[in-house]
Amino acid sequence: MDDLPPSPAQMPHCLLADPTFVRALRERDFTTVFAMAHDEGISYNRIAEACALKSERVSQIARGTAAVTALATVERISSGLRIPGALLGLAAQPWEDTAALGTESDHGDDPMKRRNMLRGALAAGLTAPALAALTAARTDVDQTLSPDTPQDLADLEAAAESYGYGYHGQAPTRVLADLVSDFAGLRPLLTIPQPAPVRARLCRTAGQMAGMTAIVLHDLGSRKESRAWFATAARAAAESGDQQLHAWVLAREAMVPLNYGAPRAAASLAEQARRIAGTRPTAAATLAAAVAARAYALTHQSEQARAALAAADALMERLPEGERSDTWLTYGEQKHHVHLSHAFTTLADTRRANESQQRALELSAPTSTMTRTLLTIDAAACSHHAGDTEQACRRTVAALTALPADYRTGLVRRRALDLYEAIPAQHHREHAVRELRDVLAA
């Protein structure tokens, strides 16, 4: 268009060729787009003038405190900054030299016409229409190739894997903040069309991260929020088509009612997870059987509990080495004995419980503060079952008072409270029992 008026904020060629800038355009991440334009000397006032936006709104978008969601605004930005529509997932905009875009309807498959079109577009250099023509040519072929994977997805998959290794001595609230921050990074990739295999991987990563966020919330005692995150994780897992992930999410979700006074609901979720996981020896199937055993023990269904424990042991024996690592997403020997400890403690099978407690402690890292505390409380409950209630209370008080404040809530407090509530009322005036009550009240 010879009469196209100049833009006060036209994007320089170096930005339109920058992979980071192009990725931001594809994801409509205008925080990055405006910030990179500003770094090239284009003021926010000029961007506002070119795009018919208020300067204050442009500044807010650049800071990440406001977002662009309206299609009309995206089109104004394309026109004002002279960004080819193809780079923003739009049709060619009115300002673009449509002759330079040369679609198949204009040129068919005639290689000579296409060559002349490209030569004409590039005669003036790497102008915006020329870059749009190059993008169109690349996209036409790229869409026929195997689906590409955004680099951001690979980074987020790696992040999900690293979070799976647990707290590593960090406060749960610190882990929660980092997890949710990375989880939010999936949104730009999920809101734009992706090839089916890429979307499946995005949903799988979303399911993993949402599930681990729910685990941390559960550990912190936020049951309502934990259930909400597990629901999101289940939807993402179901959409991903990964049945083992879906079963893992349900089995982990079952631990919320399990640990907070609703074992029948826990048993129902655990059995649902077992059905989805199937009979193959997988981490999800083994976890689901172990959680079901704990739920049945808490509802005094000892026969069903022991049957589920036998199933969990059988699956554990056949579990592939790759699924035995010590992460939230897999099922290692340490985790198995943690579950057995609680199940056998609840069944008052103190010999088997003590064996699992000892083995779990041997396998637990010194930084596994919460796990080691829960095992100590299980061992204290075994002392109570054996008739030494005073020793049980003293061990639990020592374990609780040795914890940092961030760990004295949620699951740890609930497990200690279970012990206190199991002590007959006639013992509640004894010094050790009152001391435990006071620590819990604090």
DSSP string, 84-108: -GGGGT-PPPTTS-HHHH--HHHHT
- Of residues 234, 232, 273, the one with CA closest to residue 251: 273
Q: Tokens for 357, please give them.
A: 């407690």
pLDDT per residue, tens digit, the chain (442 aa), is 445 567 888 898 888 888 888 888 988 999 999 989 988 888 888 898 889 888 888 888 988 888 888 888 898 899 899 898 888 888 777 777 543 444 443 444 566 666 666 666 566 665 666 556 665 666 555 444 444 566 678 888 988 999 998 888 788 888 898 899 889 888 888 888 888 899 999 999 999 999 999 999 888 888 888 899 999 999 999 999 999 999 999 999 999 999 888 999 999 999 999 999 999 999 999 999 999 999 999 999 999 999 999 999 999 999 999 999 889 999 999 999 999 999 999 999 999 999 999 999 999 888 788 889 999 999 999 999 989 999 999 999 999 998 887 777 778 888 899 898 889 988 888 999 899 999 888 8
Burial class of residue 96 in the structure, from the number of CB atoms within 10 Å of its CB (0-12 exposed, 13-18 middle, 19+ buried): buried
Which three-class secondary structure state does DSSP give residue 364? coil
CA distances in angstroms from 388 to 121, 367, 391, 395, listed in the order given = 88, 29, 6, 11
Please report, for the chain, the start and end positions of each structural domain, with discontinuous segments joined by +: 13-142
pLDDT in tens, 286-310: 999 999 999 999 999 999 999 999 9
Burial class of residue 372 in the structure, from the number of CB atoms within 10 Å of its CB (0-12 exposed, 13-18 middle, 19+ buried): middle
8 Å CB contact between 285 and 247: yes
- Of residues 232, 239, 238, 280, the one with CA closest to residue 253: 232
